[in-house]
Each structure stands twice: as structure tokens, then as C-alpha cells.
Structure 1
């Protein structure tokens, strides 16, 4: 795993089942002939190093993507915060203490400048995580964290049993980036069959 490239690490939250979608993993749903996960990988890969996948368990499901899979260290389901914690522990053990850009696997219209915007927003004060806000609503799965945040996140997960990123942000001063609204929404998540249908219609209209 390559380190010290000057780029932040990237972690895609790819774990968890999707009962509402009727599939084992949303990551493998197809949109425009590509899986949701492949679309997010293509957006993040140029701006991050290394790029990791976060999963609830060790699995071979993602072998075709050729990326390291970081299994949750917490045996019980610990939500996206558990995925972030596990990734930071893994990176710390490999000697990486820089930034980490977090992104979900089910957001097909992630803007290609997401990484750079987060980095620019966090440049003045790297002690704070950076979170996107869209139309006044925080988007906690689109965030920039630092290796220095690991002790506080470790305590939140292991001692307090927290699993939500929004819970974590509420405990820390953070920088907010208000994103200019566009269509389709860059932070649109696919959670239901209706969402996938809407994304398909947007893709047909815009070629995103």
C-alpha cells in the first residue's frame, strides 16, 4: 500500500445489506452499465492514495475491484462511524497520519472535485473534520478526517458505543462546506428502487 504521496487516503463505505433494494449489496447495483461502486471509485481514485473499501466483515465480494477491504474492527454492527474508525486504525498501523476522505458507495453523482474542495476547506485548520452541507443539511458521509482524530473516534466507538457520523461531528468542532445546488443532486443516495429509477432518468437526461 503506497503511503506518503501527499494525497489524502480515500475510504468508500461499501458494507451493509440493503433490504429495501432486495439485494445483498447496493454497491453492485448497476446504473448506466456500471455498478454504483465503480462510479464512485472512478471519481475518487485520481485524488486519493490509498483508496480503501470499508465492509462490515472480511469478504471476497469486492475482489474484482482490486482494492484493499478493511473489515470493521467492532464485532457488533457499529454503523459508518465504525467503518471510519477501522480505516483510521488500519492506516495508523501502516504509518499514515494524514487526511482521509470518506464517501458512500451509493451516491452515483459524486462531484469530481469533492476531494479538492474538502482539502481546500480544511487547509486553514486541520484539527477539524470537514463536512459537506447541501441545501442546509449536513452530509456526514461526505467528509474529510485526519489521523489525529483517531483517539477521539476510538473512544466514541469503543467506550460510548456510537455508530453515527453525525453523532461524532456533534462532539467535535468542524468546518462546513455549503455546496451550491445542482441537478441531479451530487449527494443523492440510492436507498430504494424508486431512487434507482430516478437516478436512471437523471442519467438519461444529463449523461452524468
Structure 2
């Protein structure tokens, strides 16, 4: 199944805590966050696309098609998920995986684990989860596997004012897949300048 899954990297946010810069283009350990992520995600997907708003040429060096939100006024990550679903449908893909562009260390078995979780079940969504240092489980709603058949429902929900990914996801059959820290939370994301410094340290620990 995994070879039939398309991958969608969500980079359409405004990154207000980073001064509005493209987080995907920030550097850690001499490479952009997007390059680190692509190393891990590319082998797991049949095709990849980048969801980003604004001038797509700024991502021209990565060899990815770029699609913008198809819903106006920056309604958040659900708009990027919808854009990915519609792009996946155009590629005749039944499933797509989404990953936020500011999570450079996603597991190398992310897609296979998520796909295994929905295989043979009625579930149409599988969301990734991990535990923090206190062993509290956190679900990561922008990192998941989605049936592209949900596109029409999602578009209708967005037009009706829905903005929260997990609230919309839980309207459908959804499963959660826990990933262990090896050696740290694989879904660590870069939101602040301090996070960027920490990400650089984590990248060096992996080399």
C-alpha cells in the first residue's frame, strides 16, 4: 500500500513565532528543515507535493510540485490537508500522508506504520502520536494518513467554519498510532528560534 500513498508536506502556515519566515527553508546542521524531512519521507511515498502559499519559485530547488491552499483567508492546516487530498485524487491516489514542514525528524517507517493501522479496518484516518518526558501521550493532528475520499466532506466543513484538524478528524473513523522516542520525540517541531537551536543539536546527535 505504501507505494500508492502520496505525501503532502504542509508549509502553508504563517510562522508568526518565527517572524513570518518560511520555516521549511531554515537551516539546521548546514541543511534546510525541508531537506532533512525529504531524506526521511521521500523513500516512503509514491509521490510528494509541497503545500505552500505565496510565490512557489522559492521552493524551486527541491524538485517538488507546489500547491497552494484552495480555500481563502488562511484557515489553517485543514486547508493544506484539503489541497493535498484534492491533489492526491488527481493522481488517483486513495491515500495520502501529511507531515508538517517543521518536523524534520519523522520516523523512517511513518507511512508503513500508519498504513498498517488502517489495513483491514474501517478507519479512514490514522494519526501519529508520541509521549513526552512525563509519558503523556500527544496526538499530532497534522501528521497522519488520510483517505482522499474525505475531500468533499472536508471542503464542506471548511466552508461551514471548521478550523481544528483533530475535531474534524474525530468525526470520522480514526485510529492513533504511537511512535516511540528513538532517542527523542520523532515529531519534535520547530516553532521558535530556541527550537531551531535545539533542532540543530538533535540533528548532530543523529550523525
Give TM-score scaled by structure 1 length.
0.89
Q: Secondary structure at the match of 2:115?
A: helix
Cα 1:184–1:50 shift into 2, 3 Å: same
2:100 to 97, 104, 125: 104
- Give the equivalent residue in structure 2 for 1:18: 15
Q: Which structure: greater helix fraction?
A: 2
Q: How does 1:5-84 map to 2 (within 5 A)?
A: 6-57=3-54, 59-84=56-81
CA RMSD of aligned residues (A): 1.9
Q: Deviations over 1:70-89 (max 9, x none)?
A: 11111111111101111212
**Contact 2:3–2:44 under 8 Å retained in 1:** no
- Give the equivalent residue in structure 1 for 2:198: 198
Residue 128 of structure 1 deviates from its aligned partner by 1.9
**Number of aligned positions between the proteins:** 202
Q: Deviations over 1:151-186 (max 9, x none)?
A: 22121112x222321121122220111222333210
Equivalents in 2 of 1:73, 1:22: separation in Å? 24
Give TM-score scaled by structure 2 length.
0.89
Equivalents in 2 of 1:175, 1:128: separation in Å? 8
- Give the equivalent residue in structure 1 for 2:134: none
Cα 1:53–1:119 shift into 2, 3 Å: same
